[in-house]
Homo-oligomer: A and B are copies of this chain.
Amino acid sequence: MLIVMIHKAGPKQIEAVVKAVETMGLTAAPIPGSERTAIGVLGNKGYVDDTTIRDLPGVQEVIHVSKPYKLVSRDFHPRNTIVKVCGISIGEGKRPVVVAGPCAVEGEEQILKTARAVKKAGADLLRGGAFKPRTGPHTFQGMREEGLKLLAKAREATGLPIVTEVMSPDTVGLVAEYADLLQVGARNMQNFELLKELGRIQKPVLLKRGMSATIEEFLAAAEYILAEGNPHVILCERGIRTFETATRNTLDLAVVPLIREMSHLPVMVDPSHATGKRSLVAPMAKAALVAGAHGVLIEVHPEPDKALSDGPQSLTFHGFDLLMEEIRRLNAFLGVDDGGEKAP
């Protein structure tokens, strides 16, 4: 940690900062500069809460040499993490996976029909929401456990592993009984009690970035899960909230290569929620793969116009077939086609 003093800071103020640092059991090393003094803080293990320093008289700013996360950082864990979901490897050097399905499970026919269609088209995993976080209480909230059972049926019928959202600590056990990959939605990225609970199981977790979460906060949220003992975490960019209203969210695709630099965890992209517009899903899915995403989540519905949620961003079966065809060609071009490791 480095503490920068204002250029008028006197010896007394510097002394006070040094004392405060020492109170924290750390060492302070003042660095006199031509214009002002800075104070280096040594000996801390990991992140230091700077609130005891930041506002002392004469302090201009405090900058951190360490981050609020360690376990998820490539700095401390250089080797790539490969997350296995029912034998499917997700991560660096593996063929990117495609997770497909409806926003919400609406009934047996809908989910089975969709599962068979996306399986036929070549999807790797099946997604479908049983517990739905909705802005208001007066709209469809999901089929809950009944929905989980239908997902299990769809898995039996197709062999596709299941990805579904969990919304609260007390339902982690229930959802984990059915799901192969547990999803944490954007609204719950900082639901820390939920994250801790997920850290106590050993099933893989798909953590979506919060609507206004910085990359640092995103990685720190994943740290909660790893810190509790569950290393099987996949990160997912799904668009952030900005002033732009022409798209549902703003897909921040640059975080894909950035996260690959900062962390060893796999990173996926959800172009359906990010754009909210069917016609933008395919171009953004392909862009995500070229940017280095380890997988994409695509919303597919038998009849998007009748979907109980997210119809406008859901692909039809035909639209999904076309996208999968493009993705296969793209993977071949990128040298990450079936089974293949990335070319050197």
Residues of A participating in the B interface, judged by any CB pair closer than 8 Å? 2, 4, 6-8, 20, 23, 27, 29, 31, 33-36, 38, 40, 42-44, 46-47, 49, 51-56, 60-61, 63, 65-66, 68-70, 75, 133-140, 167-171, 187-188, 190-194, 196, 211-212, 214-217, 220, 223-224, 227-228, 240-247, 250-258, 261, 274-275, 277-280, 283-284, 286-288, 290-292, 304-313, 329-330, 333
Contacts and interface: CB of A to CB of B under 8 A. Distances in A.
Contacts of A288: 287
Given A51-B310, A169-B170, 16 more contacts: A4-B65, A6-B75, A8-B75, A27-B34, A33-B42, A133-B190, A136-B220, A137-B192, A137-B220, A212-B243, A244-B252, A247-B252, A250-B250, A257-B279, A257-B284, A287-B288
Given A137-B224, A291-B286, A311 B54 contact: yes
A54 B312 contact: yes
B245 A214 contact: yes
A215 B244 contact: yes
B211 A212 contact: yes
A65 B35 contact: yes
B278 A283 contact: no
A52 B303 CA distance: 9
A140 to B, nearest CB: 7
